[in-house]
Structure 1
Amino acid sequence: MADLLWTSEEAAKAVDGTPFGDWASTGITIDSRAVAKGDLFIAIKGPSFDGHDYVQAALKAGASAAIVSHIPKDCRKDDNLLLVRDTTKALEQLGIAARARSNAKIIAVTGSVGKTGVKEALASVLSQQGKTHATIGNLNNHFGLPLTLARMPRDCDYAVLELGMNHAGELTPLSHMAKPHAAIITTIASAHLEHFNGLEGICDAKCEIFAGLDQDGVAILNADNAFFDRMKDAALGHRILGFGTSSKADFKAIDATPVATGTDIKADLNGHALNYTIAHQGQHWVGNSLCVLAGVVALGADVKQAAAHLGQLAQLKGRGAVHHIDAPFGSIQVIDESYNANEASMRAALEVLSLKEGRRIAVLGDMLELGPDEVNIHAGLVDACDPIDLVFTCGPLMKHLHDALPQAKRGAHAPDSKHLAPLVVQSLRAGDIISIKSSKGSRTVIVLDALLDLDVKKET
């Protein structure tokens, strides 16, 4: 049975609104297409749409009520509504009220790379130790965070919240809304550089996550990052846990060995030796795992139990999921990294591919929002491609990498992923390992779909 989230009386008090009808909700949504039975639908007015136009559709789909700033013309007298001045503000107020009534231990996660992976891993290990609520997908902005908070069950023990930004000033209000007991910065890297004056600006913007950190809260920082000391200064007054391989790290990897099922790690966790296995490969996941364990300790959960569970983590769609495909010409593996990319995550994906056995093929699309140095950043990936056998590229920026590659490594280049897909398919042979990586806007998922279509196991 679904948790009761809001009664009409509670919601009206939280948003200072006027309820019509007596109702209760077991979910919250701002998308009329995603309404589940019992949801409270919030009619958000955006620049190109108005949720008020879909109130009736949401109610017919099973919504228990709708929050509106005016009564839509097609509403009936007996429709359950909550009338407010501003529906976007009401969403924020519901999130704030949900946070205020919760006794959950809350951890917030941000960073240029790895925040979704760390968030998912934290949610997975904590769910073994108590009722855990977490951000779904990448609902990490000024709409996503209050929506996530408003959906938080009253009785959950832990909440893992992802906070995202691409401009300075965006994380401060989110942090104040989340009021975390622990805050993580996974790393600082060249993401969204076009909106910042260098990496220092990105670092300072990420450090806004400490704005709402509990007075006795813990800041969890990447000790291997060049901006570790700058992040420490920003978190001054809070307990700080560093993670990584550096001597500055409190949660430190002593040794990491790739194995068939992932990586075996020997670690020193604040003076306590611990050996564990993670179900991922790549140095970035060694750091991610230490970050997760630091978060577990910061929330007072059992770190040994969490470490044991890290060996069972599932791969994430678009962020490292591995597909085993039985193509007509033989079996191949595809690593799906198509969701997003910047220089750091691109290099990490190429490192993971380099650890695989077989002909290693990289399919790379443009990395976006990298600012004035974007050409050099793309061309500069040539060293990371050294262990790769064949590199296919698409997009005007990746053309610079294509041109910088040795002739023997050049698979093909195309203006976009649609034209690249058939070129990749034609080149494949049994035993190939293909990694697909780009910013989401480059749509290399088209190449992924073309490879998945090769699978003779698919239903026709």
Structure 2
Amino acid sequence: MSNIFLAISLGIWFFAIYHRSKYFLHMIQLEGYKNNNFKKWINEFSYKAFPKKLKYIFFGIIKATVICIIALIIAKDEIFTIIYMLLWIGGIADSIRFKRDKAKKELVFTKRAKRLFASNFIVIIIEILIITFILMLLPYEKYYTYPLALLLLSTIYYFEPYNMILANILVAPVEKKINKYYYDKAYNKIRTFKNLKIVGITGSFGKTSTKFITSTILQEKYKVLKTPESYNTPMGISKVINNDLTDEYEVFVVEMGARNIGDIKEVARLANPKIGVLTAVGPTHLETFKNVENIMKTKYELIEELPPEGIAIFNYDNKYIRKLADKTFKEKILYGMEDTEKLDIYATDLEISEFGSTFILNDREGNSVKCRTKLLGRHNIQNLLAGAAVAKALGLTLEEIAKGIEKVEPVPHRLQLINPGTGVIVIDDAFNSNPVGAKAALDVINQFKDRRKIIVTPGMVELGEQEFEANKEFGKNIANVCDYVILIGKNRTKPIFEGLREMNYSKDKIFVVSTLNEATVKLQELVKPGDVVLFENDLPDTYNE
């Protein structure tokens, strides 16, 4: 009888650990397969890695095992083993989370994910073999073998996130070899295109928007390939080069991202750009960079990797970029809206409305042209100027640039204006908010006069030690603009709440919810025709409370 229940127990266990392993595979994928990032996630979100129910069940199993073994030593009756197994099966089955909130970015079973998943089960099999060996050392007549075996399997199940780390270590040499193969292949391939004009774009923020803007403007004259979405890592860029780059393209626009010093150098050496653009430097990813100086150093790696005849393009309005520009002796183009006498490309007569912007585009030679754009916000004008500077470097006239600017469409989730036809205007700024972008978004909705303004936000992340104060300041800024505030995540949004209250913002106009779904329900209760709703930031799945 015990053998039958043992078989059922093993079946339930394999099913449970498959689901738990799949969840942690998703989380480590979202953390870029970096063990250090995944460990931080486990520490910060231990209540997700080790849910309260699972903790109760696991420690309940430990107590039940002790009681069962004592009972078996005293009575040596199989009934105690069967009762234990029934309780164990019920506990493990109850711990399985069949239903989770819909992920914003679903698990993708890439080849790498499949290798890691397989490696994870290799680790589990090794652990099972160790358990089997230990149990074989026990005399066969010991009645407590089955309860002890199930306790050890429960321990493997409970500590599964650490198995994923071990699996990632185990598969690391294989991944390194595979990555090197594709990196070297892309490195060699891109150098066979002798006439290809390659543009590298990096910055703490604005780089994705600038990439799309630059590509659109350059299409007035050239056949352009750009890295899609947020493909900005060595492997992402290698994939685009290996799969998509052909000799039909005349320009390749590459977004370059970084979380650590040396990351930009690696992607710049791969892509081999002749033009480098620095959009902005600010306090993002401070949990890895530690300080703004390290961010400056990392972003400047793009300029250092440009060839002697390369062209460096700088946003001179950004105080950190200005310092980098001033120390650069390569050919450079400065753009912005301040200190125009020092700039090569600049905007004047800026008029920002609720449905777009107009401005005069000027160059150092005294030429100018009026530009119209659908984009919202002053910072988007800076991104347009970056694209204009690249276009000028590649020989486009101001008139061609103006035509390109008019064709630029808003990038999804980056101050994207949506009018669903209900009388409510939605501003979707849900992609990776930062202090500058959040302030710009508030400036944009402030342009909508005589309308109620509602903001839905979980706050900003990845700002290191500055995160609390940045979110508190965000709360103060919200108080000056918005009529209602919906905060997502009670713990995470505490600094925003404090900032609002410091400005004597009414508690009755602040609503704190746990999930985006709850926020949507609350919004539907509040919103009326004529309102403006700003969605500011949408935390990745790893950050949700």
TM-score in terms of structure 1 length: 0.75
Partner of 1:57: none
Partner of 1:301: 396
Q: Aligned partners of 1:50 and 1:208: how far apart in 2? A: 37
* 1:160 shift after superposition: 0.6
Partner of 1:5: none
Partner of 2:387: 292
For the 8 Å contact 2:278–2:315, the answer to whether it is kept is yes
* 1:279 shift after superposition: 1.4
Partner of 1:392: 486
Instruction: Please state whether the residue corresponding to 1:348 is helix, strand or coil.
Output: helix
CA offsets 1:161-190 (integer angstroms, 9 cap, x no match): 000011111110111111111111111111
**Pair 1:86–1:198, CA change in 2 (3 A):** closer
Partner of 1:66: none
Partner of 1:89: 180
Q: Which ranges of structure 2 fall in alignment gaps of 5 or more residues? A: 1-106, 120-174
Q: Aligned partners of 2:438 and 2:454: how far apart in 1? A: 14
Identity of aligned residues (%): 22
Q: How does 1:109-188 map to 2 (within 5 A)?
A: 109-150=201-242, 151-188=244-281
Instruction: Please state whether the residue corresponding to 2:312 is helix, strand or coil.
Output: strand
Amino acid in the other structure paired with 1:279: K
The answer on 1:370 being equivalent to 2:463 is yes
Of 407, 410, 426, the match for 1:312: 407
Partner of 1:48: 116
**Pair 1:229–1:315, CA change in 2 (3 A):** closer
Q: Aligned partners of 2:425 and 2:178: how far apart in 1? A: 46
Q: Aligned partners of 1:131 and 1:46: how far apart in 2? A: 36
Instruction: Please state whether the residue corresponding to 1:180 is helix, strand or coil.
Output: coil
Moved more, 279-288 or 350-359: 350-359
Of 308, 313, 317, the match for 1:215: 308
* 1:380 shift after superposition: 0.7
Q: Which has the higher strand share?
A: 1
* 1:443 shift after superposition: 9.1
Q: Aligned partners of 2:467 and 2:108: how far apart in 1? A: 37
Of 418, 438, 444, the match for 1:346: 438
CA offsets 1:207-234 (integer angstroms, 9 cap, x no match): 1112321221111111111113431256
**Pair 1:273–1:127, CA change in 2 (3 A):** closer
Partner of 1:268: 362
Would you say how many aligned residue pairs link Structure 1 and Structure 2?
374
Q: Which ranges of structure 1 fall in alignment gaps of 5 or more residues? A: 1-31, 35-41, 52-83, 446-460
Q: Aligned partners of 1:89 and 1:298: how far apart in 2? A: 33
**Pair 1:304–1:166, CA change in 2 (3 A):** same
For the 8 Å contact 2:369–2:398, the answer to whether it is kept is no
**Pair 1:127–1:33, CA change in 2 (3 A):** farther
CA offsets 1:318-360 (integer angstroms, 9 cap, x no match): 112222224xxx4212111112111111111111111124212
* 1:142 shift after superposition: 1.8
* 1:251 shift after superposition: 1.3
Partner of 1:437: 536
* 1:417 shift after superposition: 2.6
For the 8 Å contact 1:44–1:88, the answer to whether it is kept is no
Of 492, 496, 515, the match for 1:401: 496
Q: Aligned partners of 2:211 and 2:221: how far apart in 1? A: 16
Amino acid in the other structure paired with 1:245: M
Q: Aligned partners of 1:265 and 1:322: how far apart in 2? A: 19
For the 8 Å contact 2:457–2:538, the answer to whether it is kept is no
Runs of 4+ in 1 over 4 A off after TM superposition: 42-47, 442-445
The answer on 1:249 being equivalent to 2:343 is yes
Q: Aligned partners of 1:389 and 1:122: how far apart in 2? A: 36
For the 8 Å contact 1:175–1:210, the answer to whether it is kept is no
CA offsets 1:386-423 (integer angstroms, 9 cap, x no match): 12222221222322212321334833122333332211
Amino acid in the other structure paired with 1:156: Y
Of 314, 319, 332, the match for 1:226: 319
**Pair 1:393–1:43, CA change in 2 (3 A):** closer
Partner of 1:105: 197
* 1:241 shift after superposition: 1.2
For the 8 Å contact 1:43–1:50, the answer to whether it is kept is no
Moved more, 370-379 or 240-249: 240-249
* 1:302 shift after superposition: 3.5
TM-score in terms of structure 2 length: 0.64
Q: Aligned partners of 2:312 and 2:445: how far apart in 1? A: 32
Q: Aligned partners of 1:227 and 1:202: how far apart in 2? A: 10
**Pair 1:442–1:407, CA change in 2 (3 A):** farther
Amino acid in the other structure paired with 2:439: R
CA offsets 1:99-153 (integer angstroms, 9 cap, x no match): 1112211111111111111100111121231211001011101211111222212
Instruction: Please state whether the residue corresponding to 1:166 is helix, strand or coil.
Output: coil
* 1:90 shift after superposition: 2.0
* 1:429 shift after superposition: 0.7
For the 8 Å contact 1:101–1:154, the answer to whether it is kept is no
Note the aligned Cα RMSD (angstroms). 2.9
**Pair 1:310–1:49, CA change in 2 (3 A):** farther
Amino acid in the other structure paired with 1:94: K
**Pair 1:427–1:261, CA change in 2 (3 A):** closer
**Pair 1:43–1:421, CA change in 2 (3 A):** closer
**Pair 1:47–1:255, CA change in 2 (3 A):** farther
